[in-house]
Chain A
Amino acid sequence: MKFTKRQAAKLLASAAFAASFAAPAFAQDDKTKIGFVYVGPVGDGGWTYEHNKGRLAVEEHFGDSVETVFVESVAEGPDSERVMTQMALDGADLIFTTSFGYMDPTINVAAKFPNVKFEHATGYKRADNVSTYSARFYEGRAIQGHIAGKMTKSNTVGYIGSYPIPEVIRGINSAFIHARKSNPDVQFKIVWAYTWFDPAKEADAAKVLIEQGADVILQHTDSTAPQAAAQEAGNVVTFGQASDMSQYAPFPRVSSIIDDWAPYYIARVQAVKDGTWTSTDTWDGIGAGMVGIGEISDAVPAEVKAEALALKASLADGSYHAFTGPLNKQDGSEFLAAGATADDGTLAGMNFYVEGIEGEIPQ
């Protein structure tokens, strides 16, 4: 079933209205009700698409014992608070809020509904009934960076950022560190789109980067528009973001980071059903399967592919950390001593570029 925001809001409101009259019947309903709040449309082909796949996996796994509802294209900010409140009023037992900008709204709504469990993706604020979860996308970025360094002929890699938040900056740093390792001459050109989802603007950003000499484009926005722009240009390499984006394989898309939320969502719903749900902070990477690496296509030379897969294996088994010293910050001060690795606290709040990246992070 597919709802626009307005329709869903109406439905939720009328359901809440009905519930106030039919409270006894509602209370006896032993279905676990799960709500999902999405930042983009489920058909974005990237971030929201994968969260929705997780939702469908929950339905598949639990069958009739769960009921899921979702509202798509919810603006970050006060609007999302309204949507969450309506979901909670409607009897949701567990609500997943799937974008960084829902952080404060989630905390606010959770305080009003202590019996409803909330799960906020990519944030860092927790409460007794609010868990956080995220994936170590930066591990995938390390592999992209390695391939990007090898694939670029102009030594210019374009990067389309969404918002200057730690999650995105971490990805830029990780990609840059590994691109420099595989190609010491590589430079990053970073453009901030200030949107998660705006295909026209994302395409424009990709075109500008290509016009300015980038022949590899990394994106941290949700639509497939940059892939289309690269395909149009003909000789530009891209990577799928959040979803496989395999419709652009084998070229321009040569690999991808795939977010796999399904196992986590199923485990958390199970915990609610069992009454064992507690507030937790989950941050899993390639090893746990939350971050997948899409097939590296034949457009990548065999030895580069082998190196990338070796890197993936070492990240997965924990023998290598994507942020391993010696590393300096952009201003030249020491970030990590030789052999040291970054702790999760530093990574979660990362607000600086590593040495070698040009430009400033918008504050």
Chain B
Amino acid sequence: MDLSAINPILFIAGFFVAATPLIFAAVGELVVEKTGVLNLGVEGMMIIGAICGFATAVETGSPLLGFAAAAVGGAVLSLLFAFLTQVMLANQVASGLALTLFGLGFSALLGQSYVGVKPPRLADVDFGSLAEIPIFGPIILSHDLIVYLGLALVVAVWAVLKYTRIGLVLRAVGENHDAAHALGYKVVRIRTLAIMFGGACAGVGGAYISLIRVPQWTEGMTAGIGWIALALVVFASWKPFRLLLGAYLFGGLVQLQLNLQGAGVAIPVEYLAMSPYVITIVVLVFLSRDKGAAPASLGRIFHASS
């Protein structure tokens, strides 16, 4: 065992990179679920975002345009889900699963000519002399714009849901869509917009994997992160800051177990490998003992006539 092999600064800085795709996908899904819609298609929207972002970044040479395209790609795919569930009143669980399968297949088709291509690199944000502060600088101020955008997004979603009229309307639709409808809110329109927001966020999260974390395009490269994001939303009791904590915990534990393996710590590898899943769930379950946090209309189909 040689723990000195682990560089604590690089190790903790790695948390941010590992957690960012999860943060985007999960916070998007959180807003969707707050309006009472369960979209299981996060994985599909992420992978579509991953390829749209990758292709655009390669073609234009601009990673930021790539992220913008990823958001558009994810949102467009989510419109399919919105059409099925809000207009055709299809079952949300089945539609979400279909969206994931469709996204995985369609992204493979789109990505045929991008295998093995190296994307342009998104530069880290330049904090000037601030970045030279010992420890703090290399850990916190050494990342790309998207990492900070993810953090800002969590704060913004929290503030909007808690303090603004828009947030109140979103929550009203999610808690009781009939009452919201009776008050004159356009339930279907609000939900569709929320679904698009969730799709855009998932798309950006996917693009973060293909453009920064790996960085390359490979079929099926999201490999289940969308499902983890879905679970995080539930275990975080639909609360943005718990979600942030869960994402860091999960991302951090993934890094930790790989680091401990590399350092040769004498803990059986199986325990290390499953620890991110187990510990994240246990911690969040303990945090979410207050029940009844789920939006009351979650997963229920709304029709104005009923």
Contacts and interface: CB of A to CB of B under 8 A. Distances in A.
The winner among B5, B10, B111, B254 for most chain A CB atoms within 10 A is B5
A110 interface: no
Given A225-B218, A362-B268, A189 B213 contact: no
A204 B255 contact: yes
B261 A191 contact: yes
Nearest to B216: A228
B219 A43 contact: yes
Contacts of B88: none
A247 B268 CA distance: 36
Interface in A183-227: 189-192, 194-195, 197-201, 203-205, 207-209, 211-213, 223-225, 227
A204 B258 contact: yes
A233 to B, nearest CB: 11
Contacts of B261: 190-192
Interface stretch (B28-36, B102-110, B164-172): B102-110
Contacts of B10: 211
A30 interface: no
A277 to B, nearest CB: 33
Nearest to A164: B269
B129 interface: no
A358 B265 CA distance: 11
A221 B261 CA distance: 16
B277 to A, nearest CB: 12
Nearest to A5: B101
Interface centre among A42, A73, A164, A362 (most CB of B within 10 A): A362
Report whether over half of chain B's contact residues are helix, strand or loop; otherwise say mixed.
helix
B220 A40 contact: yes
B101 A199 contact: no
Contacts of B14: 204, 207-208, 211
Contacts of B254: 201, 204
Contact of A223 (B5, B118, B218, B266): B218
B262 A199 contact: no
Contacts of B101: 4, 6
A247 B111 CA distance: 16
A220 to B, nearest CB: 14
B80 to A, nearest CB: 16
B115 A203 contact: no
Query: B18, B213, B223, B269 — which one has the most chain A CB atoms within 10 A of its CB?
Result: B269
A321 to B, nearest CB: 30
Interface string A11-23: 0000000000000
A209 B101 CA distance: 33
A2 B213 contact: no
Nearest to A358: B264
Contacts of B209: 199-200
Contacts of B184: none
B258 A205 contact: yes
Interface string A160-183: 000010000000000000000000
B223 A199 contact: yes
Contacts of A211: 6-7, 10-11, 14, 259
B104 A208 contact: no
A198 B223 contact: yes
B264 A191 contact: no
A42 B254 CA distance: 27
B258 A191 contact: yes
Contact of A212 (B219, B221, B263): B263
B225 A200 contact: yes
B262 A191 contact: yes
B290 interface: no
B305 interface: no
Given A2-B109, A192-B273, A207-B14, A228 B264 contact: no
Given A158-B262, A200-B209, A44 B18 contact: no
Contacts of B6: 211-212
14 contacts: A41-B108, A43-B112, A44-B218, A158-B262, A192-B261, A198-B223, A198-B224, A200-B213, A208-B258, A211-B11, A211-B259, A227-B216, A231-B118, A248-B116
